Amino acid sequence: MVANPAAQSPTARWEGKKLAEEIYERTTARIDRALAPGRAPPRLASIAVGEGGPFNVYQRQQAKMAAKAHIAFLPSVLPATVGQRELEEKVRALDQDPTVCGVILQHPLPHGLDFLRAVSLLRPEKDVDGVGSENLGRLAAHRPVQVPAVALASRDLLLHYGVRPEGRTVVVVGRSETVGVPTALLFLLRGNEGDATVTIAHSRSKDLDSVLRTGEIIISCVGRPGLLTRANVAQRAYVVDVGLTTTSDPSRPTGVLMQGDANASSLQGWASALTPVPGGVGPVTVANLMANCARGYELLAGTS
């Protein structure tokens, strides 16, 4: 058997921490530039529904990252029994608050609450998660205002490590309106570091393995550990692992095992590059959320 030299090449590990730091630095510089005399510094509001859930943990993380980006943080927790009308009143009030430049509505919401309807009440500049219908529509129409931070993170990681999507085949696995679809649309944008040929796969895709093998770049947004192996990933493909599955594991210092969609040991020596989980897409996503907040601040002041 003839040895294949390409198969022996190590797989690059695309860490996100350094890129995240660069994004924070750019974000604080942007905020400093947008701060006009007499203008209050930016404030990011975050709404969670229900006490004591994972969203309160997210809010603590968001508070830390906001402080790092010089953004004031305004968390609020609504009772788990909140109705759609009260939730929408809260969203509307923050949308109209001139001291707030960005609003995050934590999701999924408890059963019976309509997330898309509530978040779509935000003006697009303040919808820093980029998940309201106007932002999604604008992205599809090649006129983005706020793009979901997780989609930006995938694209930024590729660019940071010198891989331009232009003209390449990109397979996005997952079609949720908050992750998979905006990611695919971002790679499809004309210019703007998009210009890729994009395929979206999902749980109903026929012969997913064959579809995956067409990807020079794979962006996996599923939440299914072990989905990607060398059996369905093309040799030398670039794999951006957005998937994040957490399970309790008392043997770990954090008490939690975090897994992506890729089987890293199977892809080692096969793929060109792989983003680790944790430490790949995650930190870049949070940094981009703060960058979106700075963007909202600039846009609301007409300085962008």
The residues that touch ligand NAP, with contacts defined as CB under 6 A, are 150, 173-176, 178-180, 201-204, 208, 221-224, 242-245, 281-282, 285
Q: Which is nearer to ligand NAP, 78 or 222 (CB)?
A: 222
Q: Which is nearer to ligand NAP, 34 or 184 (CB)?
A: 184
Residue 278 to residues 58, 154, 205, 257, 297, Cα–Cα distance (Å): 15, 14, 27, 9, 30
Of 140, 66, 68, nearest in space to 103 by CA:
66
* Residues found in the chain: 304
Q: Which is nearer to ligand NAP, 216 or 261 (CB)?
A: 261
Find out whether 27 and 290 touch, Cβ atoms under 8 Å: yes
For 218, phi and psi rounded to 5 degrees? -120, 130
CB count in 10 Å sphere of residue 75:
19
* CB 301, min distance to ligand NAP, A: 28
* CB 76, min distance to ligand NAP, A: 22
- Tokens 């930024």: give the residue: 156
Kind of pairing, strands 245-248 and 256-259?
A: antiparallel
Q: How many helices (H) and strands (E) does the chain have?
A: 11, 11
Q: Which is nearer to ligand NAP, 280 or 300 (CB)?
A: 280
- For ligand NAP, the nearest residue by Cβ is 223
Complete edge-to-edge strand list for the sheet that includes strand 43-49:
72-78, 43-49, 102-105
* CB 201, min distance to ligand NAP, A: 6
Q: Which is nearer to ligand NAP, 35 or 140 (CB)?
A: 140
* CB 93, min distance to ligand NAP, A: 26
Find out whether 253 and 92 touch, Cβ atoms under 8 Å: no
* CB 241, min distance to ligand NAP, A: 8
Q: Which is nearer to ligand NAP, 28 or 205 (CB)?
A: 205
* CB 276, min distance to ligand NAP, A: 11
Distance between first and last Cα of the chain: 59
